[in-house]
Amino acid sequence: MKKGNVLALILTVLMAAALVACNKNDSGRQTDKNTLQSSSKESHTEKNSQAVSEKESTSSAEKETESKTEAVTKEEQTTPPKTDDELPYYIKVNRAANCITVYKKDDKGGYNIPIIAFACSVGDYDPSNPNSEPTPLGVFNLSDKYEWGLMVDGSYGRYAYRICSDILFHSVPYLGNRVKYGLETDQYNKLGSPASLGCVRLCVRDAKWIFDNCPKGTVVEIYDDETNPGPLGKPESIKIPEDSPYAGWDPTEDDPDNPWNNYSAKINGAKDITVKKGSTVNFFDGVTATDKCGNDISEKIVLSGVYDIDKAGKYELTYSVTDATGSSDEVKITMTVEEK
């Protein structure tokens, strides 16, 4: 072989070896890049779970999410996810009625038994607000959750549980992290009507129920039905007087420091009655009732007991009332029917 040919052959071999080494290095760099991306995602997830950053404030309302994940595809939104025996409940959100109904399984394994209902606030969509979006229709699975979830405006939603993308169940927002007296009262009083920027808001008690009882993977179906809120109806929500010194506390909060715990529904003006046989009696004259926040709920008073206005004697009667938080009161009276 000629000297020139030998040199050409050696040069070709060296170039091939260099190319292999280069590809190997590129592969290594790509792997390192992927590792860094994975590490970044893990760090971001840890940051979300702690929900303590005070820096992620970008809007004036509340695009309720602690971190924005990838958008759910159309297929994921419209295809009912599979369920298994470890998922005891199925959640239906009636967007049109701002009402949630939770179902458990019947004897055949279908989620057909309604067990509890909640009033909620879905998205009050405003096209002029770039942070606003409608609560999406479809079928989803609950995923990650945070006891205090950071919102993009710096407020916090308690018992935040992701439905999809940046749409979550959570309480009405608070003005600070773990500040239980910092409730946005005006937003709380909108429960039962559209008010959020896309998420599904509840009172603390109801958000905590979903947080505690519905495991990851629980199916959430969001639909519209303006005529029927659900088989259990739509519960009422208590209103907080905005001038109250306790306005920053959720009345359903079970914390022992909650000042609303010192108050309850109360019946006023109920007293024993003496009437003549055959007379007409207005049992509710002067009898009123208030809920634990001091609102008038006299129309909710129920009178029970058996009496005969045409027969002289003594009869035991009971006034009772229950407010929207479940707080109740009852007063027993004696009605004496005398001979004319």
Q: Print burial letters for 150-179: b (CB count within 10 Å at least 16), e (below 16).
A: bbbbbbbbbbbbbbbbbbbbbbbbbeebee
In terms of residues, how long is the chain?
Answer: 340
CB of 155 within 8 A of CB of 62?
yes
Domain boundaries, the chain: 45-262, 266-338
Query: With a cut of 70, which residues of the chain have pLDDT below it?
Result: 1-84
Q: Model's pTM, two decimal places?
A: 0.75
Those residues with Cβ within 8 angstroms of residue 50's Cβ, 6 or more apart along the chain or in another chain? none
Instruction: Calculate ∠ Cα 168-174-177, nearest 5°.
Output: 95
Q: Which CATH class, in words, describes the domain spanning 45-262?
A: mainly beta
Coil, helix or strand for 216?
Answer: coil
Coil, helix or strand for 299?
Answer: helix
Rounded distance between C-alpha atoms, residue 86 and residue 214, angstroms? 10
The tens digit of pLDDT for each residue in 146-176 reads 999 998 778 899 999 999 999 999 999 999 9
Q: Which helix (H) or strand (E) holds 36?
A: helix 3-50
HSE on the CB side for 167, CA within 13 Å? 26
Give the torsion sign (CA, 263, 268, 271, 273). negative
Q: Which helix (H) or strand (E) holds 328?
A: strand 328-338
Rounded distance between C-alpha atoms, residue 71 and residue 293, angstroms? 41
Q: Which CATH class, in words, describes the domain spanning 266-338?
A: mainly beta
What are the angstrom distances between the C-alpha of 53 and each of 38, 152, 153, 180?
A: 21, 10, 12, 17
Query: Residue 145 pairs with which residues in a beta bridge?
Result: 161
Rounded distance between C-alpha atoms, residue 151 and residue 66, angstroms? 5
Those residues with Cβ within 8 angstroms of residue 233's Cβ, 6 or more apart along the chain or in another chain? 99, 117
Say what the pLDDT of residue 154 is: 80
